[in-house]
Structure 1
Amino acid sequence: MSDPRLELLRDLPGALLVVDVQRSFADPEVLAHLSETARADVAAAVLGVRAAIDLARAGGTAVVWLRLRVPPDNPWPASNWFRGRAPDDPWPTEWEPCVEGTAGIEWYAVEPLDEELVLDKRTYDGFAGTGLAETLHGWGTGWVAVTGLTGDCCVLETAGSAFTHGFRTLVVADATASHDRATHDAALRVLAEHSAVVVDLAEIEDLLLTP
């Protein structure tokens, strides 16, 4: 561990958060419109998430899964407004991510064990309306390591919210990616400046193996 702040976590229970590793955000067939670089970044991040999960399970660190789940009859009005959609525009369209009843909501390349906690969310923030903070505090969790997709959206919002809820927050850089490298790098810089320690998986291997 090179960062002295990581040493301060050794005696605290932690949890690994897996954010939105779903087909809408990770499946190369769905992401065919992205650049080759972006698809490669996502593929590498999914491998990083899988490695982080394996370490956490081996060490007994809690793994919590966050999944975007959008009811087809209940859109998120603020999101539609932000994207320039009028209230009477047809919805959902075929490109809407993670809609119930579509393949986009499915896990991609990783999936939870029966005993692992899975929480459905409606927004970018994995803490909003999910009870995640209360659950983690109830477990005595002192720190969280955030992985998943995408770094400039749901990982950014979830990590910032984790910090706001009082958790010492890590973001695992090689287990997250975005669909644009520039915005991804900017998101990691913002997190590192204000709310999270940005690490590579190798730096927190010991933490994941010692819950």
Structure 2
Amino acid sequence: MTAGGLAPSRCVLVAVDVQNDYCDDAGALGRAGHALADIQAAVRRLQGLVDAARRAGVPVVWVRTEHDGWTDSAAWLGRAPRRAAPICATGSRGAEFYLVEPLATECVVVKHRYSAFVGTRLPVVLRALARPVLALAGVTTNVCVESTARDAFMRDWEVVLVEDCAGALTRAEHAAAVQNIRSYFGRVLDAAALEAAWSEPGRA
């Protein structure tokens, strides 16, 4: 981490795929039989982190997945041939945010692949914000969050994974992604450490 560290003026909070199909028991993953308690707990902690970011003047960028016939290539659909129902279909309840609500003044980025950098306006948004540190949270740690972390690092942003505000379908998958990011792509902190950095007297 370069000079200035985690000062609020250096940070952006990027919340990835906090959507019903990934997080709600009534969503696609819940209906498929996946246990979502860890993901739901991470989202509840993320709610507090979002509040802290807003108080500190840290921009919050919301990333959501949407899929439809215009973006679903044969290769993309073929990655999960046993999937019975679409996930985060455009306009569906499953694509709506889960337990969180972006403010009218906050940016929402729509993506169609795992990484929030692929085919989206996120790079332009981040360049306009001109803040070098991306604090990443959301779902799932080992797929969309890690994919976004990798692409962010390779585009020269400083990556911070907020470990307890990210969740995966299994703890093993979460732990493996955390280790990958810690080893190769950025720092790993919990929400309390980040909130403390943002609330230090004199930090801006």
Amino acid at match of 2:90: E
1:45 to 42, 45, 51: 42
**1:75-90 to 2 correspondence within 5 Å?**
75-84=72-81
CA distance in 2, matches of 1:17, 1:74: 23
Give the whole-Å Cα distance in 1 for the aligned partners of 2:31 and 2:2.
Answer: 38
Q: What is the match of residue 14 of structure 1?
A: 11
TM (normalized to structure 1)? 0.86
Alignment of 1:42-191 (within 5 A): 42-84=39-81, 95-191=85-181
- Scaled by the length of structure 2, the TM-score of the pair is 0.89
Amino acid at match of 1:59: A
| Cα contact 1:126–1:154 (8 A) shared by 2 | yes
Corresponding residue number in structure 2 for 1:90: none
Output one character per residue of 1:112-152: Cα deviation in whole Å (capped at 9) or x when no partner. Answer: 00010001001010011112122212221110100100101
Deviation at 1:8, TM superposition (A): 4.5
Q: Deviations over 1:53-91 (max 9, x none)?
A: 000011110000000011245413322222247xxxxxx
Counterpart of 1:199 (choices 186, 189, 192) is 189
For structure 2, list consecutive stretches of 5 or more residues without a partner in the other structure.
none
Q: How far is the alpha carbon of 1:206 from its aligned partner?
A: 3.4
Q: For residues 16 and 117 of structure 2, what CA distance do their matches in structure 1 show? A: 11
* Percent identity over paired residues: 30
Q: How far is the alpha carbon of 1:94 from its aligned partner? A: 5.5
1:29 paired with 2:19, answer no
The answer to whether the 8 A contact 1:24-1:97 is kept is yes
Compare relative contact order (CA 8 Å, sep 6+) and give the higher one, 1 or 2.
1
Pick closer, same or farther for the CA change 1:34–1:45 going to 2, 3 Å.
farther
Calculate the aligned-residue CA RMSD, in Å: 2.0
Q: C-alpha separation between the residues in 2 aligned to 1:132 and 1:73?
A: 20
Offset at residue 49 of structure 1 (A): 1.2
Mapped contact 1:34–1:179 kept (Cα < 8 A): no
How far apart are residue 33 of structure 1 and its match? Answer: 4.2
Match of 1:89 in 2: none
Distance in 1 (CA, whole Å) between partners of 2:6 and 2:162 is: 17
Is the alpha carbon distance of 1:39 and 1:137 closer, same or farther for their aligned partners in structure 2, counting shifts above 3 Å?
same
Relative distance call for 1:189 and 1:99 in structure 2 (3 A) is same
Output the CA distance in 2 between the equivalents of 1:6 and 1:116: 26
